[in-house]
Structure 1
Amino acid sequence: MTKSIPGPNAKAILERGIPVFHNGLRYAEDVQKASRRGFRPAGQVMVDRAKGDYIWDVDDNKYIDFQNGWATNPIGNAHPEIIEAVHEAHKRYGFHYDHPLRYELAEKIAAITPEKALPRFTFEVSGTEAAESAYYMAMCYKKRRHVITFSSSFHGNSLGTKIFSGLNTKKYMEGWNGGAIIAPYPHSDHIPANMTEDQYSDYCLHYLEHHIPKYIADKDNIAAVMVEPGLAEGGNWIPTKNFLKGIRDICDRNDWLMIADEVLTGLGRTTKMWAVEHYDVVPDILVMGKNLSGGIEALAGVSAKDEILGNNPDFSASSTFAGTPAGCAAALKTLEIYERDNVLAHSVKLADIAKDVMGKWECKYEIVRQVRLSGLLMGVSFQKPSDKPDDEHWWYARAVRSEMLHTGVWAISDREENIRMYPALNMNIDTFKEGLEIMETAIAKIDREGQNVGDSPAWPTGDAGF
């Protein structure tokens, strides 16, 4: 059944609340503009409650949750055991900076890092702080100014992480670029010069090792290369195995550190504990967050090799609420549940289903440009039908996402022509299949209706928001 989204209760909250926040002064005007173009109002969800694989909005609409708290709820929404662990930690410790759970968790994390090779740890509150901590750690250890990151990468929204991210998140901050060097990332689509994906990957590696030292920064002033082993916010792009191994080799040859930002890809999202394990590489520094504390408390951190964090007197990081008792309790319980319930083995079953179902979509639907899967890091790119004018491709992604939302599945489509999905790693198999079926039905509907769009993007299944 198609839902009315937002419903009356959600509309009342939005009308009262949106003027208080970012772009609040232009919200009403944008809604009217979208309506004049033929778009239905933005399908914004106002969450009332969440449990397991589902969320309900304030108008009691129920959704299968493929958005997953922006990939922070690895074992479902509001897991009762984690909530209980957090509650007990609050009762026992309140908030104090030093407590035994910090040490217990650091030991457990060391034991699950790739090849157990990163035994040192520093706590942070968010993935943003952890990413900043990682590249500052590398600079201090190497006593060098530059860190290389990649186009379309996203490491956070603070001043520092905006500078080192490749997404367009730093308007008017061009003068702050400092030691950031942005290299091309080998996307698997829209590849230039008719290259194959492998050729493009080779070009990006050549740029990294030869172009940057020759034309941009001396190689002896480069501290590290920071890479997401799955370009998440940029659209869930999956690098080739040769690309990650190539970065590791380049870092070794040039005495650079390799930093893996696994805030979103880590702790099981790709069916292995760490996405780098698919590529047979071990980074020198590993950034983590999101899944670490089961979606209940803010917690992140950085693991590093002994020498990098064990003897680095120039480095300092962390903050008041880094490694809180409640956050550490949540993480300890999350890791316990992973092991007890064989969460990663279950995620493999879900990933196999996704591959079987979604692998057919590129052939079946003209608007589906590319399906990308690395375990449960799931992305679909959309395009206009071949006989249509140069409409923006994101109109089709937004239309599909809107149709999904109105028929009961919550996924992400923000800045790009992509829809991204991050289901819980332990999602019920039947629920997962139902969510994919609803998504495919939405794709089929927009694929049919897209043939009748004509010269205008303003067809009634569109969506003004995300």
Structure 2
Amino acid sequence: MSTTESAIASAEAHSAHNYHPLPIVVASADGAWMTDVEGRRYLDMLAGYSALNFGHANRRLIDAAKAQLERVTLTSRAFHHDRFADFCTRLAELCGMEMVLPMNTGAEAVETAVKTARKWGYQVKGVPDGMAKIIVAANNFHGRTTTIVSFSTDAEARADFGPYTPGFEIVPFGDLTAMDAAMTENTVAVLLEPIQGEAGVLMPPAGYLAGVRELTRQRNVLFIADEIQSGLGRTGKTFACEHEGVVPDMYVLGKALGGGVVPVSAVVSSAGILGVYRPGEHGSTFGGNPLACAVALEVIAMLRTGEFQQRAAELGDHLHHELGVLAGGGAVETVRGRGLWAGLDIVPSHGTGREISERLMDRGVLVKDTHGSTIRLAPPLVISKEDLDWGLDQLRAVLAD
């Protein structure tokens, strides 16, 4: 049995089967490349579902983490530490907001946003206690906690996890008429992904986000943008909402905020919204810890230059041009996306998304499937044009077989 086979067999025997990973065991990584335990190199075209926007082992992020490891890594929020205020200030500035509530994972941040919207609804909007409603979109993916799967339309994520948390209304993604009809005096928020990543990089109709912004403003409802995957440079701008000139009431951030080094997430909003909290009403032992803040501060500094957003825009234009040509070749039904992010629906006769992912892995390229026939491409923003083209060459070869 090879080292790879042994490691996979051990994992299968001793870990819960809540994922179905490709049969590769990674041992090291740098930039856009990963190396397995057998010494084989692979081009990473997934980037940890956008957690690795700045690539593996990014020197600036690793140095920031190392420096902080030598000082202090955790205080809990029982005490202040010397990185916290800078982190909150710089992230608020990046978002054009006023306050930050840091957590660890994306799902924690979404749960925080839900709690915040409800509390704002009761204390500020005047919704009767226990009556708050939040509107979400069908085919959403905001995480897998009990509350979040309660408003999922994905049977795989939802089945057998009830009873489900009430208080959510599901409307079709992209349908402003349905959203307007679903709103009542008890609606406190609309929670949306500007681009639905897990659903297959589904794009909203042009003008949809601006329409949501206007509708929520008219009805005194919070617009919460889940930019955990789409934010922090992925689409060619700092936030995907910017493509329609939209500023939501609240950003939900995660993944790339920790640079692929540590888990960092946050809810960012105004003082009038996050100011509803009082000590003891919400928290996290590790949320906003010194190590997380040090790494996130470096991420924010990198984004403030605009170079990564510009890179994602320019390479993204090239990526989508090449994929558009590929879509006319008979193996790809549809290509969607923005910036360095794309979803490809494979013609069933050419294989399932899983089969295409495995064939690409055999040729040294790592992607991941979703919803049967779709594969997602989301390379690190630091990928070179030459490496991106090489990866696209492997995709063409796989689809031609």
Q: What is the TM-score when the length of structure 1 is the normalising length?
A: 0.79
Question: Which residue does 1:228 correspond to in 2?
Answer: 193
Contact 1:75 1:425 in 2 (8 A): yes
Question: Which residue does 2:334 correspond to in 1?
Answer: 370
Question: Which residue does 1:109 correspond to in 2?
Answer: 91
Q: Does 1:384 align with 2:371?
A: no
- One-letter amino acid matched to 1:120: M
Select 1:78's aligned residue among 57, 68, 90. Answer: 57
Question: Which residue does 2:393 correspond to in 1?
Answer: 437
Q: 1:318 to 1:181 in 2, by over 3 A?
A: same
Question: Which residue does 2:148 correspond to in 1?
Answer: 161
C-alpha separation in 2, matches of 1:341 and 1:246: 27
Q: Does 1:126 align with 2:105?
A: yes
Q: Counterparts in 2 of 1:200-349, with a 5 A limit? A: 204-210=175-181, 212-213=182-183, 219-313=184-278, 316-339=281-304, 342-349=307-314
Shift of 1:22: 2.2
DSSP 3-state at the match of 1:164:
coil
Question: Which residue does 1:152 correspond to in 2?
Answer: 139
C-alpha separation in 1, matches of 2:73 and 2:16: 33
Contact 1:156 1:165 in 2 (8 A): no
C-alpha separation in 2, matches of 1:66 and 1:111: 30
Shift of 1:93: 1.2
Shift of 1:336: 2.4
Q: Counterparts in 2 of 1:3-18, with a 5 A limit? A: 8-18=2-12
CA deviation vs aligned residue, 1:379-406 (integer Å, no higher than 9, x gap): 1012235xxxxxxx9x432222221110
Q: Does 1:57 align with 2:39?
A: no
DSSP 3-state at the match of 2:318:
helix
Shift of 1:253: 2.1
Q: 1:178 to 1:349 in 2, by over 3 A?
A: same
C-alpha separation in 1, matches of 2:108 and 2:304: 28
DSSP 3-state at the match of 1:92:
coil
Contact 1:155 1:164 in 2 (8 A): no
Identical pairs, percent: 26
Q: Does 1:352 align with 2:308?
A: no
DSSP 3-state at the match of 2:368:
coil
DSSP 3-state at the match of 1:123:
strand
Q: Does 1:407 align with 2:401?
A: no
Query: Considering only aligned residues, what root-mean-square deviation do their CA atoms show, in Å?
Result: 2.0
Contact 1:110 1:119 in 2 (8 A): yes
| Number of aligned positions between the proteins | 388
Structure with the bigger percentage of helix: 1
Q: Does 1:22 align with 2:22?
A: no
- One-letter amino acid matched to 1:428: S
Pair member with larger Rg = 1
Q: 1:233 to 1:314 in 2, by over 3 A?
A: farther
Question: Which residue does 2:378 correspond to in 1?
Answer: 422
Extract unaligned runs of 5+ from structure 2. none
Question: Which residue does 1:99 correspond to in 2?
Answer: 81
C-alpha separation in 1, matches of 2:293 and 2:11: 33
DSSP 3-state at the match of 1:48:
strand
Extract unaligned runs of 5+ from structure 1. 1-6, 28-41, 187-203, 214-218, 386-392, 446-466
Shift of 1:178: 0.8
Q: 1:315 to 1:239 in 2, by over 3 A?
A: farther
Shift of 1:313: 4.7
Contact 1:397 1:417 in 2 (8 A): yes
Question: Which residue does 1:135 correspond to in 2?
Answer: 114
Contact 2:141 2:152 in 1 (8 A): yes
C-alpha separation in 2, matches of 1:77 and 1:23: 26
